[in-house]
């Protein structure tokens, strides 16, 4: 009798378990909205995955500075030539004043003059210092810059072979400390102010000499650059 009673109890428990399983499945089906099986499988696979957060692309600054210049300043960047195929560039307030894209940069010393008050470029010329007699015309060009002018100078290839004392004196008078150290194919950049003073902390000159042991390019030193923010004239 006990065995019969025990067997009956097992049957009852089994039936009860089956009813509970069926009812649980019914409730689950009612609670979950209809969706394609593939979509449901995809959702299951992605449970626990963290969303991928992409950092926004950095905003481009004037003249490719890493950080923006204050609104009351001018942004500038001077880049010398480097090697035969890397031309010099002069950028001011995100405007390319001299460069390969404009076709106005060449071997020698390249100079752009900007009106400090308005920020407008007034003249830009290149002077070959390897061939021809261009030291005198360059001296006149520099001296013709009106008061309150910014002068930007960069070399491409050789800027010293035919550079004479008249030009060196004119550039030295603008504050250059390296013009008399120029050698064959030296990379040189220089920022000058005429008729006013630039803040002492502004980077304004850099030079890199050709060295057969350390040249980045065959027979050419590496390009160099300076950049910064020039305070505008107070209104």
CB of 74 within 8 A of CB of 229?
Answer: yes
Cα separation values, 2 from 8, 15, 16, 40, Å: 10, 20, 21, 49
> What local confidence, expressed as pLDDT, does residue 35 receive?
47
> What local confidence, expressed as pLDDT, does residue 205 receive?
97
Q: Is the dihedral of CA 184, 156, 151, 128 positive or negative?
A: positive
Q: Is 139 helix (H, G, I), strand (E, B) or coil?
A: helix
In sequence order, what DSSP letters do the residues of 15-83 get, joined into one string? HHHHHHHHHHHHHHHHHSPP--HHHHHHHHHTTTPPPPPPPPPPPPPGGG-SSPPPTTEEEEEEE---S
> What local confidence, expressed as pLDDT, does residue 235 receive?
73
pLDDT tens, the chain, 235 aa long: 545 455 565 655 565 666 565 555 555 455 455 545 455 444 545 555 566 666 666 677 999 999 999 999 999 999 999 888 889 999 999 999 999 999 999 999 999 999 999 999 999 999 999 999 999 999 999 999 999 999 999 999 999 999 999 999 999 999 999 999 999 999 999 999 999 999 999 999 999 887 767 777 777 788 899 999 999 988 7
pTM reported for the whole predicted model: 0.75
CB atoms within 10 A of CB 112: 24
CA neighbor of 117 nearest in space, from 150, 140, 86: 150
> What local confidence, expressed as pLDDT, does residue 30 receive?
54
């Amino acid at each position: 009798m006990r065995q019969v009673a025990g067997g009956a109890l097992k049957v009852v428990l089994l039936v009860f378990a089956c009813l509970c399983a069926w009812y649980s499945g019914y409730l689950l089906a009612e609670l979950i909205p209809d969706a394609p099986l593939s979509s449901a499988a995809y959702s299951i696979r992605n449970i626990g995955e963290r969303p991928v957060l992409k950092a926004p692309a950095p905003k481009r600054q004037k003249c490719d500075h890493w950080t923006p210049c204050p609104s009351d300043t001018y942004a500038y960047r001077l880049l010398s030539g480097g090697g035969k195929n890397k031309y010099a560039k002069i950028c001011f307030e995100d405007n390319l004043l001299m460069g390969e894209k404009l076709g106005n940069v060449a071997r020698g010393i390249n100079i752009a003059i900007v009106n400090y008050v308005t920020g407008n470029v007034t003249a830009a010329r290149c002077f070959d210092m390897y061939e021809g007699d261009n030291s005198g015309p360059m001296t006149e060009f520099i001296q013709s810059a009106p008061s309150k002018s910014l002068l930007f100078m960069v070399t491409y290839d050789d800027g010293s072979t035919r550079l004479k004392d008249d030009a060196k004196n004119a550039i030295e008078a603008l504050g250059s400390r390296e013009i008399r150290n120029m050698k064959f194919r030296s990379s040189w950049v220089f920022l000058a102010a005429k008729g006013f003073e630039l803040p002492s902390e502004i980077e304004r000159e850099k030079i890199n000499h050709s060295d057969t042991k350390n040249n980045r390019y065959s027979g050419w030193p590496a390009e160099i650059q300076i950049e910064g923010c020039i305070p505008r004239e107070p209104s």
